Amino acid sequence: MGDFFGKEYRSNMEKDLANQEQLISRVVEKVMEQLKYYDRFKIPIGVSNRHVHVSREDLDVLYGKGYELTKKSDLGQPGQFAAEETVTVRGPKGEFKGVRILGPIRPESQVEISLADGFKLGVRAPITESGHLDGTPGLTLIGPKGTVEMPQGTIVALRHIHMTPADAERMGVKDKDIVDVETFGEREGVLGNVLVRVSDKFALEMHVDMDEANACSLKNKDYVVIAKR
Amino acid sequence: MGDFFGKEYRSNMEKDLANQEQLISRVVEKVMEQLKYYDRFKIPIGVSNRHVHVSREDLDVLYGKGYELTKKSDLGQPGQFAAEETVTVRGPKGEFKGVRILGPIRPESQVEISLADGFKLGVRAPITESGHLDGTPGLTLIGPKGTVEMPQGTIVALRHIHMTPADAERMGVKDKDIVDVETFGEREGVLGNVLVRVSDKFALEMHVDMDEANACSLKNKDYVVIAKR
């Protein structure tokens, strides 16, 4: 282009380019920082549909004395599995057939439902931690060999994150902390009151129920992050 | 107590009290500010269960030529009502009986469901605005007098806020803004991607579906606020 552009113009253009390059590398730096932040705090989602944990005694009634659960598939938490076996769960107002049993067996039977399920069954189950069953409503479990009237054990699982001590250290949280979790996508938002559970027997995973998964448009393996509100 | 406490001690105590009073009035001030903030931005919730809007032509088929809907109860938005009339909504994988028709009639029939309902019916309805029906899946509506095969019209309503121009001005938002909304209580959090609709025909109300209501443990008349994230 010869000297069509004057010296001053070219000098300014070079300065502009240098400024632009600086700006771009600052933006890239910021984006990388944010990605690293997300990487450090990101947690895969596990969506829990309604399911049942059974005691030895109740499995004896539902499927026969000494019956052993058959593994259908592994779950996100080590040693936990979805069984081939299902039961009908019946409440005062409705029932669900084919509700999956999760293994292994537990000291006490427990039915985990969503709030929507509770309306259909006709039970007001508290939103609480797994195993906190005192005062919770009962339900009827119907298996191929018999029926169990659970005196208690129906809960809506408090949304929670399983993690290892190494995860907890990396994320700066500890067992029983209550945190906020940021979700992404079409129905992005923040889930508050999320319980952190830390154990070397856990794998990193946040459990939400079907109501929560649908409200946030989340599916298994989607990522969320612990949020600072 | 006579001079049991020395002069210096009492002087310090008085200073402490004065400081404490100052602190308390600052806290009260902050709390009042926050309450005023919430008051300015607070919005009552309206929970939408699955429902149907029908066209004149479709109502003719479902309930008979020239049939008029009977008002069962007013809804939050002026002129809108829940009708006594219901239909069965059937999809490729399942159906819901007794799905309420909302009046008045509209130019085109529309079925509003939750994502959970979509799984049960076997349709993948988009999360979108009311009336945006091009390319949405159809469903079968079954009334006492006849059956309608809807060619399209099934949506999951995009969560949205109805408000008057005065509400919009007070909250500093405008028609078609996308905002975040803070929710409170046991399942507190933030719902992102909330559409603002402004019209002098509206009343202030945020509409969520059953998945969202249950995930946030919200019921009709609960309050939420437009949030700054």
Which CATH number covers residue B187? 2.40.40.20
- The C-alpha of B110 sits at a distance from chain A's nearest C-alpha, in angstroms, of 21
B12 part of a folded domain: no
Band of residue A1 on the pLDDT scale cut at 50, 70, 90? very low
Q: CB A215 to CB B211 under 8 A?
A: yes
Residues ≥6 apart with Cβ < 8 Å to B185? B216, B217, B218, B222
- The nearest alpha carbon in chain A to B181 belongs to A189
- CB-CB: which of A180, A211, A229 is closest to B215? A211
pLDDT greater than 50 at residue A229: no
Band of residue A35 on the pLDDT scale cut at 50, 70, 90? confident
ipTM over 0.85: no
pLDDT of residue A34: 78
Identity at A118, one-letter amino acid code: G
- The nearest alpha carbon in chain A to B126 belongs to A186
Residues ≥6 apart with Cβ < 8 Å to A33? none
A8 part of a folded domain: no
Q: Are residues B52 and B119 in the same domain?
A: yes
Q: CB B192 to CB A187 under 8 A?
A: yes
- Report how far residue A79's alpha carbon sits from residue A205's, in angstroms, rounded to the nearest whole number: 14
More reliable by pLDDT, B154 or A4? B154
Q: Are residues B192 and B95 in the same domain?
A: no
- The C-alpha of A214 sits at a distance from chain B's nearest C-alpha, in angstroms, of 6
What is the pTM assigned to this prediction? 0.85
- Report how far residue B20's alpha carbon sits from residue B108's, in angstroms, rounded to the nearest whole number: 64
Question: Chain A residues contacting B, CB < 8 Å?
Answer: 114-116, 127, 159, 180, 186-193, 210-212, 214-217, 229
Question: Of B104, B133, B157, which closes a domain?
Answer: B157
More reliable by pLDDT, A227 or A10? A227
- The C-alpha of A195 sits at a distance from chain B's nearest C-alpha, in angstroms, of 12
Kindly report the backbone phi and psi dihedral angles of residue A11, in degrees, each rounded to the nearest multiple of 5, phi listed first: -60, -45
3-state secondary structure of B41: helix
Instruction: Among A97, A194, A211, A216, pick the best mutation site for testing chain B contact (most B Cβ within 10 A).
Output: A211
B84 part of a folded domain: yes
pLDDT of residue B4: 61
pLDDT of residue A33: 81
Q: Are residues B180 and B132 in the same domain?
A: no
- The nearest alpha carbon in chain B to A184 belongs to B192
Is the bond into B104 cis (omega within 30 degrees of 0)? yes
B57 part of a folded domain: yes
Region A51-70: mean pLDDT is: 98
A12 part of a folded domain: no
Q: Are residues A63 and A148 in the same domain?
A: yes
DSSP string for residues in A183-222: E-STT-EEEEEEEEEE-TT--SEEEEEHHHHHHTT--TT-
Total domains, chain A:
2
Compute the count of residue pairs across chains A and B with CB atoms less than 8 Å apart: 66
Question: Of A136, A157, A178, which closes a domain?
Answer: A157
A31 part of a folded domain: no
Q: Are residues A129 and A170 in the same domain?
A: no
Q: CB A186 to CB B193 under 8 A?
A: yes
Where in the sequence is the domain holding A113, given as residue range(s)? 47-157
Q: Are residues B108 and B188 in the same domain?
A: no
Band of residue A165 on the pLDDT scale cut at 50, 70, 90? very high
Number of neighbours of residue A23 by Cβ within 10 angstroms: 10
- CB-CB: which of B190, B191, B214 is closest to A211? B214
Q: Are residues A97 and A136 in the same domain?
A: yes
**Which chain B positions have a beta carbon within 8 Å of A114's beta carbon?**
214
Q: Are residues B78 and B136 in the same domain?
A: yes
Q: Are residues A61 and A96 in the same domain?
A: yes
Task: Confirm if B214 and A114 have CB atoms less than 8 A apart.
Answer: yes
Strand partners, B198: B163
Q: Are residues B174 and B104 in the same domain?
A: no
pLDDT of residue B51: 98
Strand partners, B194: B179
**Which chain A positions have a beta carbon within 8 Å of B124's beta carbon?**
none
Q: Are residues A183 and A149 in the same domain?
A: no
B29 part of a folded domain: no
A60 part of a folded domain: yes
Q: CB A116 to CB B216 under 8 A?
A: no
Q: How far apart are the first and last CA of chain B?
A: 54
Q: Which residues of chain B have pLDDT under 70?
A: 1-5, 228-229
- Mean pLDDT lowest for which of A102-111, A158-167, B35-44? B35-44
pLDDT of residue A194: 97
- Report how far residue A189's alpha carbon sits from residue B190's, in angstroms, rounded to the nearest whole number: 5
- The C-alpha of B180 sits at a distance from chain A's nearest C-alpha, in angstroms, of 8
Instruction: Among B208, B214, B224, pick the best mutation site for testing chain A contact (most A Cβ within 10 A).
Output: B214
Task: Confirm if A159 and A195 have CB atoms less than 8 A apart.
Answer: yes
Q: CB A116 to CB B186 under 8 A?
A: no
pLDDT greater than 90 at residue A177: yes
- Report how far residue B51's alpha carbon sits from residue B130's, in angstroms, rounded to the nearest whole number: 12
Question: Of A157, A192, A215, which closes a domain?
Answer: A157
Q: Are residues B72 and B118 in the same domain?
A: yes
